[in-house]
Structure formats: C-alpha cells, structure tokens
C-alpha cells in the first residue's frame, strides 16, 4: 500500500507538470487552431532563465522566477507578433511548421546565450521528505501540485469572471462572431500566446529542481504536454489537466510495476487505446466536418 | 503509365541534374551529403503522398524509416541474411504493420491522427533504444555491405548512383500514382472526405493504401541508408527525425513530388552549410525555416511556380 501511494504521489507530481504544459497547448489551440510546437521551449526558458538570473545577478528565487516568467511571456508575444501573425492566412499545417522553426530558433538562442550544460535549481523548501502513510513526499512535489491548483483556479477566474477572459472564450468558440460583436481578435491571439508561454515557464521553474534543466529539456516535456492535451481532448482546459494527471499516474505505475525502461511505451499504448475508443480524447467535442 | 508528359519532363530534368551534379563535387564529403539528401527525398516523396495528396498527417514516419533501417541491419548483421532479401522482407513487414494499424489510426482526424502516429513512432524508438542485445542500443550497430550476388555495393561514388537511381524510381512511381485513379481519389479525400464519400469514393480504402505506400517508401529508404552508411544509431528513429520529414515536405511544397525532393535537399544541405556558424547554426536554421514559411506559405516549389506563371 505504501508502495502504491509512493507511485501515486510521484505520478501526480509529474502529471501536474504535464498538465501545466498541456494547458499551454490548449490555450493557443483554442485561440488559433494551431498546435504550438514551441510550447516546450517556454518550459525551457522558465527553468533556464531562473537559474541564470539567480547565478548571474544573485536575485533570490522569489524575484528571479517572476522575471523568468515575464521573459517567457515576452517571447510568446514575439512569436505571435513576428511569426504567426504575418502568416495568419496560411494553412494550419504551415503555421505548425512555423512553430517548429520557432522551437529550433529558441533552442538555438538558449544554446548561444546560456550554453549546453545541465543546470540545477535548489528545491524551494529543502529536501527533507514528508512521510505520509509510509510514502515519502518531497516538498517540491507539493510546490508543483500547488502551482497546478493555483493556475487552474486563476484561469477559471479569468475565463468566468473577467471581460477579457470571456472575450478569449468567445473567440475560441467562434472567431467571426466574436469579431462581429467587437472583440479585437488579434489582441486575443496575443494574450493567448503570452499567457500560454507564462504557464509553460511556470511549469519549467517548478520542475527544474526535480529534473534538472538544459537548453533541450523542453522537447520531451512539450511532447508529453501535447499528449496530455490530446488525451484530455484538444481545446478543453479541464481535459488537458485530466489528461496530464492521467498520463503522469500511468507512467509512474508502469515504471513501478512493469518496467522503468518501458514506462513511456506503456503511456503511449494507453493513449492509443483511449483514442481507439474515444477518437477525440476524454472531453473533446465531436468534430463536425463541413462539406 | 505514360512516358512523355509535362510531369515526365520534370523527371527528365531531375535525371539530368543527378547526372551532372558530381562534376561539381570537390571531394567525397559532397557525395556523402548527396546520398543523405537522396535518402531523405525518398522518404519525403512517400510522405508527401500521404500529407500533400491525402491530407493526412503523420508525425511518426521516422518509426517506419527506422524499422526498415534496423530490419535490414539486424537481419543481415545478426542473422546473416542477404541484403536485398532483408530489405524486401523488412519493407513487406513494415507495409503489413502499417496496414494493420492504419484502420484504427486513420479514423482519427487532424491533430489526433498526428498524436497517434507520433505515439507509434516513439514506441518504435524506445524499443530500438532498449533492445540492446539486438540493436546495440544507443551506441548503434555496424551493418554489412549490400551485395547483389557477387556485386558488393561499396564506395561513396557507387552509392551516389544507386541512390540517384532510387530517387528517380521513387519520383516516377509517385507521379504515376498521383496521375492514376488513386491520385484523383486522394485529392477528393483531401478536399472533403464527406463529399468524396458521397460521390462513392471508398475513402478508408484509399487512405489505408496511401498510408501503407508511404510507410514502405520510408522503410526502403531506411534499408538503403544503413547499407550506404554501414552504421545506424537510434537517432534515426527519434521524434525530431519525424518532425524533420514533415518539415521537408511542407517546406518544399505539399502536393508536389518535386517539392518533396527540393524540401529534402534544402533541409539536408542547409545544416551542413550552416555548420560553419557553429554555435549559431540552430538559430540560423530556425530563422530561415520560419522566414520561408512566412513568405512562401504554400512551400517553395508551388509558390515559386505560381510566381513564374504570373510573370509570363
């Protein structure tokens, strides 16, 4: 039982990271129908910028982290403004390839500015595990899970209670109709990219003490975040969170009970299985094709 | 199978380019790049049938490519099979695998299809990385030379001509598929699947068919690759390799067989040309990629062809 609990905790921890990255995918997809392959790079920027700010300028974590999130958000805005916006009339696949180009560009930029080494961020509140029912919980796990809860609550509030949030939702449901009632769709697109980058960077900062960080950590995390968003059903924020947690727990259980070498295989087989029975994920809407 | 049509004129032009190119190669290194270009082109020609003509995306073609590569590598190096037999058996097995997974997978649309193919590709990559006794794991494995009877295909120059011939064959096959009834059915599926079904096109059958064809192209290219390089590592199965193939197709221009060749050429040669910039290599590559897609959103060949037509 203690063993199961241990796997569950580590699954929820890593799942929370996937969920945060997945949320970023869902936000940009909602606003633009684009799968942003540079999403993982926002995660990298979060971790790497925090580490560099702390080492280079001696800023404490509490200041370095918000600055890093702001840097990532600016990169997200720049991505929309200078790469996605000029090609707004292109096919979705062209836009996706542009984001692939952007991901190579950002990785290259981090490589030039900060080098290729692994960096470690110290855990936010020590490494003394908390014992619960025989399972050892790292304090950093609580930070990660807390970050997810905070982001979900904040997004809920943003989408339900603010005019801007409602405008974003309206745009994702029907772009033309949103435009007709006077919503500036371009601004919405910018906001979505900025917000999505900020959430991705937060995930990168939270996970850096657990997984280390390097210019290319975003590739794998981006992939898992995309998987989470798809598993939950594209475009559903709630789905991305559920998908991320499910993916994380499945991976941890597979690593614990089956084989740690093949944990990702188990995870992807589960995803394929789910898609086989539910072709649009847990909470994805039924797509209607227009002739 | 018509031989002299405008499209076949393009094939002739490509043949001439392949024939004259070596005159401009100062050393063996250039042959090596040309061989890699040709192999990528074969994968992209097949993948373009799926993406460009049938409108179905795959983010897992490096999986099929790597299965062909490791199929040939393991069968020849570990079991002592003759190279050509291993190549054909590997391609048949990959085709069968593609056929089996195609039906459940191609029910999915858009990004969900991308996810499923991506998952398949990653599963292949992990298995190749972990089955160390068979594949050598991350360190890779050496592969014997390809031999047809007594003729051992060795040397970069010989391989250049073999791959050049294979590219021409692949282009010729693709052009014929596109011009056939299958090609027309595929374009109908791309336009609108519902509309295609309404006029009696068995959309599932054609989607499965083209998925299998593209997988076999990738598998054969993988087999050729390991024999040409005499070495293979799991990098060939990597997710980024799948992304690279898709990028080549879109960059060159979807629904253009020559576009696939151009895209493969640019994305194989460019990193080599940028290697001189050292640290700035990826920065430059990303910027160029974004620039081309922003200014020529339909891809190089279709965009430039349209401009040329407007000029006349």
List Cβ neighbours of B26 (8 Å cut-off, separation of 6 or more): none
Within-domain flag for B246? no
For B218, the domain range is 4-238
pLDDT of residue A263: 87
For B198, name the nearest residue in chain A, comparing CA atoms only: A291
For A112, name the nearest residue in chain B, comparing CA atoms only: B279
* Model pLDDT for residues B68-81, shown as the tens digit of each residue: 999 999 999 999 99
List Cβ neighbours of B174 (8 Å cut-off, separation of 6 or more): B45, B46, B48, B49, B257
Query: What's the number of domains chain B is made of?
Result: 1
Q: If pLDDT is split at 50, 70 and 90, which confidence band does B165 have?
A: very high
Within-domain flag for B82? yes
> How far B87 CA sits from the closest chain A CA (Å)?
26
For A113, name the nearest residue in chain B, comparing CA atoms only: B279
Strand-pair partners of A132: A135
What is the arithmetic mean of pLDDT over A246-266? 91
Q: Among the ranges B89-93, B151-155, B306-310, which has the highest mean pLDDT value? A: B89-93
Please report the DSSP string for A106-142 in residue order. Answer: HHHHHHHHH-S--B----TT-S-PEEETTEEE-HHHH
> How far B210 CA sits from the closest chain A CA (Å)?
19
- pLDDT of residue A213 exceeding 70: yes
> How far B18 CA sits from the closest chain A CA (Å)?
29
| Partners of residue B114 in chain A, C-beta under 8 Å | 35
> How far B49 CA sits from the closest chain A CA (Å)?
15
Within-domain flag for B299? no
Helix (H) or strand (E) holding A242: helix A237-253
- pLDDT of residue A291 exceeding 50: no
Within-domain flag for B163? yes
Taking an 8 Å cut-off on Cβ atoms, the answer to whether B123 and A265 are in contact is yes
Instruction: Identify which of A87, A103, A281 has the shortest CB distance to residue B293.
Output: A87
> What does pLDDT average to over chain B?
90
Whole-number Å distance between alpha carbons of A108 and A103: 8
Within-domain flag for B248? no
Q: Is A258 on the interface with B (CB under 8 A)?
A: no
Q: Is B270 on the interface with A (CB under 8 A)?
A: no
Within-domain flag for B282? no
> How far A280 CA sits from the closest chain B CA (Å)?
7
Q: Which of A26, A93, A218 is the best substitution to test chain B (most B C-beta atoms within 10 A)?
A: A93
Within-domain flag for B158? yes
Whole-number Å distance between alpha carbons of A208 and A47: 6
| Partners of residue B126 in chain A, C-beta under 8 Å | 261-262, 264-265
pLDDT of residue B1: 47
Backbone angles phi, psi at B148, to 5 degrees: -100, 100
Within-domain flag for B129? yes
ipTM: 0.88
State how far the alpha carbon of A71 is from the alpha carbons of A60, A67, A99, in Å: 16, 6, 18
Angle of the A237-253 helix axis to the A2-32 helix axis, nearest 10: 150
| 3-state SS, residue B201 | coil
Whole-number Å distance between alpha carbons of B260 and B253: 7
| Partners of residue B54 in chain A, C-beta under 8 Å | none
CATH class of domain segment(s) A2-277: mainly alpha
Residues 223-252 of B with CB under 8 A from A: 239-240, 243, 246-247, 250-251
How do beta strands B151-153 and B146-148 pair? antiparallel
């Amino acid at each position: 039982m203690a063993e199961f609990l241990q796997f569950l905790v580590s699954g929820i921890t890593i799942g929370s990271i996937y969920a945060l990255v997945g949320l970023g995918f869902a936000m940009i997809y909602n606003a633009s129908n684009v799968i942003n392959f540079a999403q993982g790079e926002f995660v990298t920027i979060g971790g790497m910028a925090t580490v560099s700010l702390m080492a280079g300028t001696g800023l404490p974590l509490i200041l370095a982290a918000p600055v890093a999130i702001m840097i990532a958000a600016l990169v997200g805005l720049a991505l929309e403004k200078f790469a996605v916006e000029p090609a707004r009339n292109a096919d979705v696949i062209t836009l996706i390839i542009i984001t692939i180009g952007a991901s190579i560009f950002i990785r290259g930029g981090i490589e030039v500015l900060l080098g290729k080494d692994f960096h470690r961020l110290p855990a936010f509140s020590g490494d003394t595990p908390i014992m619960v029912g025989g399972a050892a919980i790292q304090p950093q796990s609580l930070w990660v899970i807390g970050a997810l809860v905070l982001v979900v609550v904040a997004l809920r509030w943003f989408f339900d209670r603010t005019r801007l949030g409602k405008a974003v939702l309206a745009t994702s449901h029907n772009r033309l109709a949103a435009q007709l009632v006077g919503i500036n769709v371009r601004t919405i697109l910018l906001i979505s990219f900025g917000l999505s980058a900020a959430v991705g960077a937060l995930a990168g900062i939270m996970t850096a003490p657990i997984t280390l960080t390097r210019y290319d950590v975003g590739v794998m995390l981006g992939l898992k975040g995309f998987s989470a968003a798809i598993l939950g059903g594209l475009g559903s924020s709630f789905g991305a969170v559920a998908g991320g947690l499910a993916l994380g727990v499945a991976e941890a259980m597979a690593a614990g009970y089956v084989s740690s070498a093949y944990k990702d295989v188990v995870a992807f087989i589960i995803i394929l299985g789910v898609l086989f029975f539910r072709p649009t994920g847990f909470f994805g809407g039924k797509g209607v094709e227009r002739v | 199978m018509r031989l002299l049509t405008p499209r076949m004129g393009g094939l002739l032009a490509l043949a001439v380019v392949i024939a004259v190119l070596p005159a401009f190669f100062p050393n063996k290194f250039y042959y090596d790049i040309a061989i890699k270009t040709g192999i990528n082109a074969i994968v992209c020609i097949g993948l373009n049938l799926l993406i460009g003509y049938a409108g179905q995306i795959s983010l897992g073609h490096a999986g099929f490519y790597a299965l062909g590569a490791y199929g040939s590598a393991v069968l020849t190096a570990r079991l002592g099979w003759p190279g050509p037999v291993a190549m054909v058996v590997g391609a048949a097995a990959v085709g069968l695998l593609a056929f089996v997974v195609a039906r459940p997978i191609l029910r999915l649309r858009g990004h969900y299809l991308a996810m499923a193919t991506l998952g398949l590709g990653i599963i292949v990559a992990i298995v190749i990385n972990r089955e160390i006794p068979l594949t050598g794991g991350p360190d890779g494995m050496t592969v014997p030379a390809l031999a047809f009877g007594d003729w051992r295909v060795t040397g970069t120059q010989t391989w250049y001509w073999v791959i050049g011939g294979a590219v021409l064959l692949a282009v010729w096959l693709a052009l014929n598929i596109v011009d056939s009834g299958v090609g027309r059915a595929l374009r109908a599926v791309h336009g609108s699947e519902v509309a295609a079904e309404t006029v009696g096109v068995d959309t599932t059958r054609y989607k499965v068919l083209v998925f299998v064809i593209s997988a076999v192209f990738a598998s054969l290219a993988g087999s050729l690759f390991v024999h040409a390089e005499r070495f293979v590592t799991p990098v060939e199965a990597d997710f980024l390799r799948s992304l690279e193939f898709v990028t080549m197709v879109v960059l060159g221009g979807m629904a253009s067989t020559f576009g696939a060749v151009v895209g493969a050429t640019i994305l194989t040669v460019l990193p080599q040309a940028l290697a001189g910039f050292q640290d700035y290599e990826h920065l430059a590559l990303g910027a160029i990629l974004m620039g081309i897609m922003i200014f020529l959103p339909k891809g190089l060949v279709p965009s430039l062809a349209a401009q040329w037509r407007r000029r006349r």
